[in-house]
Structure 1
């Protein structure tokens, strides 16, 4: 997963590149936010590092643009002329970190590494959600009903009474659902599907 470095100062870009590549993380360098955005549809980075003050689009404007485009890559902002209010604004708007030049190279590299790891976790979680959503679509209406009741914390007896079927039948449905979702146990099942189900179970 590539880190995008954006700064109009080529010396700073080179310095940042050396720091990040020392962590075995691939890097793409851009001298403006506009140049980065031109390549964005094809190259979605795992982390974006941008100077706040650049000719054309600034780092803070880039932050707003990335939000508009729903790019969830962690954003680290740097500035040679930062003030407290600017840093607070950036962090409130969702920046992963904020550095004032000159910054500590080790701390900067650590922050980028943490941001990349966060992006990898998000990517893995998103892939899992997509996979689970597809598995949910394959359930029969009755299996889906049983799943929603299980996720709501109802026992087999309660679900059986609700659906006018036997507890043994509920147990069978639950076993089928767990197999199709790929869950190890009920707790794992609920963890996997809770974000994809309605807040309230069927009436």
Structure 2
């Protein structure tokens, strides 16, 4: 189960939401301001955040923006006592999963939390994989990177050798090294990894 965070400047709302979620088997961490949330929560980890839109200081939408600027895998659900269509649209455009009006409907919240947990875990795994690929790429020598570019372009070893003005055997050795360091068995796997590193 992913970590769950509640951010609302109204203690009564926090208490009632906390009580409802504990009844569903969750153990949420509660925060009375966006600042206290940002100070304590590691945005690089998987988790689900339920944010109140209207708060003094940093409001929910600004907090949502900051979470996404950090490329955080967190799934965000927005909560408001005075929902407007434009607010809901803005929240979704900024990357929120959904928008709930207070008091939150328990059944809807539960199904949303299940979906949000899956989404954040997927996003976290993808980020960890991306990080691992970047670390593997850093192990390649400049020549190996060059050979990899040709390989990904679908060029044969003898063509690469001619274009780089080296022996075909040298290209074969570089190619082997690329596959070993990138931990792949074939060009299709290599192409898949490289696609993940793109923004």
TM range (shorter): 0.7 to 0.9
Q: How does 1:16-27 map to 2 (within 5 A)?
A: 16-18=17-19, 20-21=21-22, 25-27=26-28
1:126 partnered with 2:131: no
TM-superposed deviation, 1:84: 0.8
CA deviations over 1:179-202 (Å, ceiling 9, x no partner): 2111132111111134558xxxxx
List alignment gaps of at least 5 residues for structure 1.
198-203
TM-superposed deviation, 1:30: 1.4
- Change over 3 Å in CA distance of 1:133–1:108 after alignment to 2: same
TM-superposed deviation, 1:110: 2.3
Aligned to 2:160: 159
Aligned to 1:80: 81
Aligned to 1:48: 49
The question of whether the paired residues in 2 share the 8 Å contact of 1:32 and 1:54 is answered with yes
CA distance in 1, matches of 2:35, 2:144: 50
TM-superposed deviation, 1:21: 4.7
TM-superposed deviation, 1:60: 2.0
List alignment gaps of at least 5 residues for structure 2.
none
- Change over 3 Å in CA distance of 1:21–1:112 after alignment to 2: same
The question of whether the paired residues in 1 share the 8 Å contact of 2:43 and 2:67 is answered with no
CA distance in 1, matches of 2:162, 2:23: 62
Partner secondary structure for residue 185 of structure 2: coil
CA distance in 2, matches of 1:167, 1:104: 66
TM-superposed deviation, 1:4: 1.1
CA distance in 1, matches of 2:11, 2:134: 45
TM-score (normalised: structure 2): 0.80
CA deviations over 1:8-53 (Å, ceiling 9, x no partner): 3444334433554566554211123233233236996622111112
CA distance in 2, matches of 1:145, 1:193: 14
The question of whether the paired residues in 1 share the 8 Å contact of 2:46 and 2:124 is answered with no
The question of whether the paired residues in 1 share the 8 Å contact of 2:43 and 2:74 is answered with no
TM-superposed deviation, 1:150: 1.3
After superposing the two structures, state which structure 1 stretch, 8-17 or 75-84, moved more: 8-17
User: How many residues are aligned here?
Assistant: 197
CA distance in 1, matches of 2:6, 2:41: 13
The question of whether the paired residues in 1 share the 8 Å contact of 2:5 and 2:50 is answered with yes
